[in-house]
Amino acid sequence: MKHYISTSILLLLVFSFTNLLYSQSLYLSLEECIKYAEKNNLTLKTAALDKEKANISFEQSKRAYAPSISASASQSLGYSNGVSDNNFSASGSYSIGANMTLFDGFNTQTNIKQNELNLTQADLQLAQNQDNINVQIIQAFLTVLMNKELLDYQQTVVKTSEEQYNQGKAQLAVGKILESDFMLLNSQYQSDLFNIENTKITIENNILELKNLLNIDHNTTLDIKKPDTAAIKALLELPSLDYILSQAINYLPIIKIRANNVKLAEYDIDLAKSSYYPTLGLSAGVSTGYRNKNGSFGGQLTDNLGENLGLSLNIPIYSKGNVDSKVQQSQVALQKALIAQENAKLEGIQTIEKAYLTTQRSLNNYNNNFVFTLCHNI
């Protein structure tokens, strides 16, 4: 049992030392937090990968115009009990061919346009995520800043209540105040100490939220740089909501995303309708072969050489209503996309208003705490 406890303590010490060895400290301003998130935030990394995937699909769709080329080879060996001296036989066949679609009801052209628009959508989604993360970082940063100012104020207040507590304690000892009055002073002092501890815990939680947004390892210590007075004054002079709405509403990625979704739905209809059209394909190939009993290998490959060129036409006549159903479903999706587009402006306004009010509240709280601290120190 003693050995088990000693081993556990040793492992704990090693683990603590390792964390201490690899721990780091970051001291970031608001601008540095935003730049750090651009490189490390997991949501933004995922959106960047989605954009890369969309780009791969777009580039691949452009290759659909090119022919597909394939080659094949077969070799066989045989043995039979015959009258000839050589009972072994060997043969082989070799071919190479190419296929190319000449017309597919404009499916290829539409698919290229759709994938190009999907790439634009991925880029807009990345910008949308960037905006959301930036707003969350600003709000979290201001919350930490506000609570740090609150902590400074509370620490100033507790000094006063501590002095009053010590004076009351001395007065109680000589009978100058009642015990009930001293208990009130003690209660106020303990309450002020309790408020400080609660604010410290709140700041730790605020820092943790900011670390999560920045994707900072738990072993890394994070603290924020307090903006200078001019920067704080600029923050407190937040433009009016109407001005921000007028400037931002036409540039919100969400509105562009919804508009592009309408175009994507129209492309889906075109893709579904392409199945109504016939398809025309071109094929070409070269083949040859040999048998071991029919002459030399090289001579047979030359003598058996054959070429082929062909056109294939496929005309759809009846598809059990599958094409009609796909077209109708795509048309329903288009109607939904149009409704979503109408809601996009409202969603954009609500997003801006929510972010504005949250930021305004954080700024007001910071300003109030700053004024309280300033007045208390006068």
Find out whether 96 and 286 touch, Cβ atoms under 8 Å: yes
Instruction: Give residue 179's Cα distance to chain centre.
Output: 62
pLDDT digits (tens, 9 = 90+) for 276-293: 999 999 999 999 998 887
Distances (CA, A) of 124 to 19, 130, 197, 354: 40, 10, 44, 21
Q: Does domain 26-64+72-377 have CATH number 1.20.1600.10?
A: yes
As given in the structure block, the two tokens for residue 294 are 């029919």
Residue, of 128 and 233, whose pLDDT is higher:
128
pLDDT at 234: 61
Cα angle vertex 10, ends 8, 12, to 5°?
70
pLDDT digits (tens, 9 = 90+) for 246-279: 777 777 888 899 999 999 999 999 999 999 999 9
Ranges of H-type helices in the chain: 2-22, 30-40, 42-62, 107-173, 179-214, 229-236, 241-248, 253-273, 297-303, 322-377
Question: φ and ψ at 241, to 5 degrees?
Answer: -65, -40
pLDDT at site 168: 92
In the chain, what are the domain boundaries? 26-64+72-377
Region 294-301: mean pLDDT is 82
pLDDT at 2: 46
Provide mean pLDDT across the span 100-117: 94
Residues 6+ positions from 95 with CB-CB distance below 8 Å: 71, 72, 73, 285, 286, 287, 288
Distance CA 126, CA 148 (A): 33
d(CA 244, CA 185): 49
pLDDT mean across residues, the chain = 86
pLDDT digits (tens, 9 = 90+) for 172-219: 998 888 999 999 999 999 999 999 999 999 999 999 999 999 999 988
Residues 135-184 pLDDT 10s: 899 889 988 988 998 899 899 999 999 999 999 999 999 888 899 999 99
pLDDT at residue 4 in the model:
46
Residue 7 exposure: Cα atoms within 13 Å on the Cβ side? 4
CB atoms within 10 A of CB 219: 12
Average pLDDT estimate for 29-44: 95
